[in-house]
Structures are given as C-alpha cells and as structure tokens.
Structure 1
Amino acid sequence: MLKARVLTAAVLLPPVLAAVWSGGWPLAVLVVLIAAAASLEALPLVLGSPVAEPGPTSRWLVGAAGVVPAVAGALATARGPGWGVGAATAAAAVWVLLAAVAPVGEAWEGGKRWHLVGAAALLSFWIGWPLAHVLALRLDGPWALLVPLVIVWVQDTVAYFAGRAWGRRRLAPRVSPAKTWEGAVAGLVAGLVAAVLLAEPLAARPVAMVPVGLLTAIAGQAGDLFESAWKRRAGRKDSGRLLPGHGGVLDRIDSVLFALPVFAWSAALFL
C-alpha cells in the first residue's frame, strides 16, 4: 500500500505544483475538477437516507452544491480575494435555498426535505466553499497557497509514520481506529515546525507563524476526522478508488478542506 501511495503522489504532484505555481485558469480548472470529483464521492456518504431513496434530481442538487461555490469563487476571485470567498459564500447560500424549494418528488417532501437541504448545505461548506480559498490565497503569490499545503502534507506524513511506529493510545476509536494520540501530536509538532521554517517565503516573522501553523495543523487533523466520521456512518473505508493507495479524491483533500480557510483567516489576523 505504501508503494502505491508513493507512486500515486509521484504522478500527481508535478501537475498539481505546476497549476499552483502558474495560477490563473489552469488552477481554476483544477479546483473545479477536484470539487466535482470530491462531491461525487461525498454523495453516498451524506445522501444515504433511512427515510427516502434519493432520486436523480436530489442527487444533482446535492452533488452540484459542492461545485457551485467553487465555480463562483473561481469566476469572482480575479476582482480580489474577498470577492472570491464572498461569491462562494453567496453561491452556497443560494444553492441551499434552491434545495429547500426545488421540486424533487414526493419521496423527499415534508420533513424528509430537510435531509436534502442539510446534505446540500454540508457539501457547499465542506467542499465548495473551502476550495474557493485556493484561488483567493494564490492571489498573494504561489507561496501563500503552497505553505498551507506543505503544512498539511508534512503533518499527515509524520502522523502516519509516527502512529505506525509509536502509536499506542487511540485518538478516536469509534471514528478512525488507526489514528493515535502519539501520531496526532507528532503531526502537530511537524506541521508547526514546517510553518515556522516557511516564514521567509511569506515575508513573515517566524514567531508570527506559530499560531498560524498550529491552527492550520489542528484544522487539518479535524478535517481528517470529520471525513472519517462520515465514512464510518456510511460503512466505508475509503470515499473512492480513483487514487491507488490513497482511496478517493476526498480522502486526499479532507485535511486541506479544513486547513485552507483556517490558514487564510489566521494569516490575515496574525501576519
């Protein structure tokens, strides 16, 4: 499995880094494609309902909820980072309202409708809205986007190997039995160190990167556990099979979805 993880990363990393470095429409297209893939994988996690079988319309409404904010953010970000995130927020709110009033068939009417609305709201603010921060951060240069990604990648890698080597105490056995406190702490420390070491590309003081790095690392771990909880609820080990060794796209970006907004807002506060 480790070999598959490394090979997949080796194949995907160059085009992702190229898109991050170039910015503009290549990055915007990549963000929208990621949002679409992650939303498709999230559908069976959040839309499985004991009260109604989702039909085509409800699936479309919920699946698009994870993409529409990302598209709105991509289109508006050229006017400034605030415009991109603001447009994503407005698009998410409008789409959730649409899910509340759109005709979806009798099976989803009445109280069951709120399951649909909740699923649309979840995908909007879990997938689409966070990904709008990708382009907003990139407006400040490639390093403004690379730094939070590196923090998350370093944390995930160190937590994985430290947990395997020294893990004894389970962090959240009902949600993700393989995660340990030892791995989590090692990952947080590694993410914090990475943030401090990357202060120079951001023209920031190393001490100012301490709260930013710590909050970003904590958010990354929270994102991982959040997705694990939904997979556990749906009885799944992975969100998909698109990425050998990693599972699905959502499995690969779960930490990033929580970390990017936290990095953006904490950087605005502390840097």
Structure 2
Amino acid sequence: MALTPVVLALNASGLAVAQSIAQALDAPLHGRRGRVGQADAFFDNALDHARDLFAAGTPIVGVCASGILIRAVAPLLSDKTQEPPVVSVADDGSIVVPLLGGHRGANRLARKIAEALGSTAAVTTAGDVSLGVSLDEPPEGWALANPQDAKGAMAALLSGGGAALLGAEAAQATWLADMPAGDAVKLSCDMTPQSDLGPHHLQFAPKRVTIGVGCARNCPPQELADLVRTALNEAGVCDAAVHSINTISLKADEPAILELARQLNAPLRLFSAEALE
C-alpha cells in the first residue's frame, strides 16, 4: 500500500472515531456534507465519493456500515491484485474489517487502526488466520520478488507442507520465523537474483538499493531500463531490492525515468541541483 488512505465519516456519531483514525494514519478526513461538521473535505453522496476514490486507486477507511462500502465499489471489482484496500470501521470503533485488498495492505491497515483504537481487527484471510502471516504482504522495507506465485506457495503451506527459510538475510526476516519447517516451499531472503522462482520458491528482498539516474531529454525508455538492469545484474541485485529511483527535479516529467520507476515498482524521488551538489 503506497498511497495514503482517505478516512470517510458519514455521520456525526462516527466523527470522533474517524478523527482518531485520521490522526493515527496521518490521513485526510472526508465528511458527508450536512451530517459531519468538521473535515478536510466534504462530499454529498457517500456511494459516489467512495467509488471515485476506489477508481483512483486510493485506499479507503470508512467509518460506516460495511454494506455501504461494498455497494459503492462492487461495480468496479475486477482484479484483486490491483484494487486498493477498503476497510470499514464501526461508528463506535469496536470492530475494524478489511473488506478488500487484504494482501495489498488492508490487513496491515486494519491492525494499525485497531491498535490505535484499542479494538479488534477482523482479519479472515486464510494465511493470516492459520499461519499468522501473509506471504504476499511482507512488512515495510521488504518486497516479494514473485508475487504471482504467492497463492500457490500459500496453498502448499495450508495443505500441511512446511517452509525452508534461506538466504543471507534470513535472520532479519523475523515475520517468517514461526513458519512451520519443511521442504514444501523455499523462502529465500536475499537481494541476489534467483533463477528458479515459482510456487515452491518465493524470494523476499530487503529494499535497500537506491538508484540515481539522469538522461538526455526524450531518451528512449527501454535504453534507460536496459542500462539500469545491466548495472543491477552486475551488482548481483534483483529488481525487488530497489528502494527508490532518484533524479534531479528538472527530470520530474521525463518519460524514460517515469517508465523506469513504473517497471521497478519503486517511488520516484526528486532533488534540487543544490541538494545533489
């Protein structure tokens, strides 16, 4: 979950809880006009507003009945690997429910909200319940190199298989420490590219590598991408270990650099000439 969530308050009865959540998440609070007196922004129709946020890829935390959010986003549901997290919270803050995007940040978001409110996160995804971990949702600072294989790996583990924790960074992957031991799935914790990744071999990479780039105006995007990947290969670093793409602020709209950040799924950070100097 890269984007900051938006907290929705639909009624005055849930405003205090919504304000507490917004403060805990450092997130904007949107309130329904005529029903909520204080908010960073106001909306007239809850269904339309939630639908617009969801369509834009913005995580939603609604202090309201779960059914309202479900009805709002249902027409847009198509690909769970791309949809943003949606979380509902009871007006009194007693229960926090990750409705969508459990493995894209919603479970983690629900737990953070529940901790702030002193309440309960109703997490129901199988991996979290049975194994206490979501393989496709590593903690901040880590990335899964082959997320498309996480479902198959989780199925193997839920069927009674165990995992072997490997790699130079295995000792740092504390969230995997309690996985049942076995040979059904290999979990490599390393920045080095692995050649045999698949449903029985996942790689978790610590996001420690920052890439500094520059290029001529309108440089061919593939040329820059090939150059960066050559440098990564020579350094023995996989794509998932890239923390950020960094460049001078004058290149904020450079197509090749924007495409590089997209391909590597890494944020673009901009610096002034003075800062770089």
Bucket of the pairwise TM-score, normalised by the shorter protein: under 0.3
Q: TM-score, normalised by structure 2?
A: 0.20
Q: Look at both structures and tell me which one has the larger radius of gyration over its CA atoms.
A: 2
More helix by share: 1
Q: TM-score, normalised by structure 1?
A: 0.21
More strand by share: 2
